[in-house]
Structure 1
Amino acid sequence: MITHVASLLLSSGTLPGTSMNSCNATQGHPPFFILQGIPGMEDKHRWISIPFSSMYFVTVLGNCTILFTISTERSLHKPMFLLLYLLALTDLGMSTTTIPKVLCIFWFGQSKISYEGCLTQLFFIHSISAMQSSILMTMALDRYVAICEPLRYATILSNSRIGLIGIVSLLRAILFILPMPILLQKMPFRANHVIPTTYCEHMAVVKMVCVDTTINRIYGLVVALLVVGLDISAIASSYVLIIRAILHLSSKEAHLKAVNTCTTHICVMLVSYTPSLFSFLTHRFGRGIPPHIHTILGNLYFLVPPMLNPIIYGVKTKEFRDKVIKYGCWKKEPVTIAHG
């Protein structure tokens, strides 16, 4: 999988605009950073906020609907839906970590973010991304067990085991990401502390450092390879085994049923990977692409997948859709007519 954690790979390259001489102007860290917003489009921030706020509203509504429905319906307390519950938590956390501040920049011009607040946002952006990577990898494992080991499904993936996977994913994310803000705390920053984007993430903050950042860049590369690389490998291996199992099925009806069980997860993966992959490639190879395009693509990662994931599951999963309709519609009470 390629999540926003993949942006850590970007900091393994040359950091443009980092001047060693500017260290004389600032010792230690600044009291705050200034988030520029979308470079070159500051006069259009109010208009851009309309689709941003609309998508964020749909994101909150959709993911809260998932959380409420799965929490209240005991029939949905199954591994597949518990994983969907965890995915909704990460989607909600990812967008809420960034988008409210983005809207404050667009609406009120509140571009200042404290140094501590910036590092906190950095930590949550990358740790939630790492946890989301684990969840999507576990979803691929869930589909593998459902198709290749259906008789052992309840044994291999019990509800308690899903809870344990969630805890391990959280601990892994914290342990891998926590050193990033800790390393940055010990470094001096440039006098010009304007971050030309709408949020604080590792690459953007590292570019503000005026000393050698080799350790930060190497650590970011290692984390990206361990988290993203291992999860992608696990997902790819799961689907290779799934495809092989499907090809050995005898009837066409069995083929279609097996494929249908995977389409929802495949759609979610495509929605999650495409914006971040496109953003990664444009940052890495698109030197001629304007900065505002980079920033908009980065923000789409926090908006599009969290908004579309609940819609995909609502459309593709009948059991979940029926429960949502149950809560979304008024039940008509029978009318009793008295005779005589």
Structure 2
Amino acid sequence: MATAVTEPPRDTTPRGRRRTGATPRRLPYLLIAPAGLLMLGFIAYPVLSVFYYSLQHYNPTKPWRNGFAGLDNFTEIFTADPHFWGTLTFSLKWVVVEVTLQLLFGLVLALIVNQTFAGRALGRALVFSPWAVSGVLTSAIWVLLYNSQTGITRYLADLGIGEYGTSLLSDTGTVFWAAIVADLWRGVPFFAILILADLQSIPGDLYEAAEVDGAGRLRQFFHITLPHIRDAIVLSTLLRAVWEFNNVDLLYTLTGGGPAGVTTTLPLYIAETSVDAHDFGYASALTTVAFVILLFCSIVYLRLSKFGGDSK
């Protein structure tokens, strides 16, 4: 008697689920697609719009002049604009001074709060608290501190230092450093936070071995601490340099670009050109130039610093 041959059960699992994991390959991409589309809409579209309008004459108050400009806006920037080179020079000066001082003070603070001492948690909270304050509120605080009637200069005059009615923000000789101090108060904690996070990842065994070998604090800093926090320093200085270059809120609130335009940065000049003069085409061309400058400097800085390389 012949035996009946039974067929193996059919695999009813969809093809996409036959692999290990039982999840279709495309599912993760479908899940992040909404976020990706939103980013494309809110980031890519404005950037492309700026590039488009940089090639246009576009001023809503003068519609008869609107139209394709080609490279005319860029030609005017480099050859005929009396403000571009001055604002770019001041922007570079502002970035170099601010980032350098913030890095130095932030490194010192990070090294201090990384030590063990009574009240360290409170000390860290006080050090990091200015970073939680918005730029506009920071500007308002320092405007009050620099007020000639109720601020620092009045109390200094009471002590016989300076004269009554002195305004640090209206004097071309003091306004730069007054703005520098105001921005330092908020920018230093940024460096302290990032550097402290890297400091806490350094194994304590390295310092113990260095002490056994007779290395002092200074040699430990240069041969152990600094190589381990190098990437944190490179990343924080790059991010802060970009943010300081684009700084508008603090300088606009403190000085408005004055006195006599000595504190006008390139982004502040762009804001004045677009918002006050309504020349959006020319402002877009200025923005494109600023973007290219930042992109070029960032690439060169990362290449020279060898960010992410083996330094430990």
Which has the larger helix fraction? 1
TM normalised by structure 1 equals: 0.27
Higher relative contact order (CA 8 A, sep 6+): 1
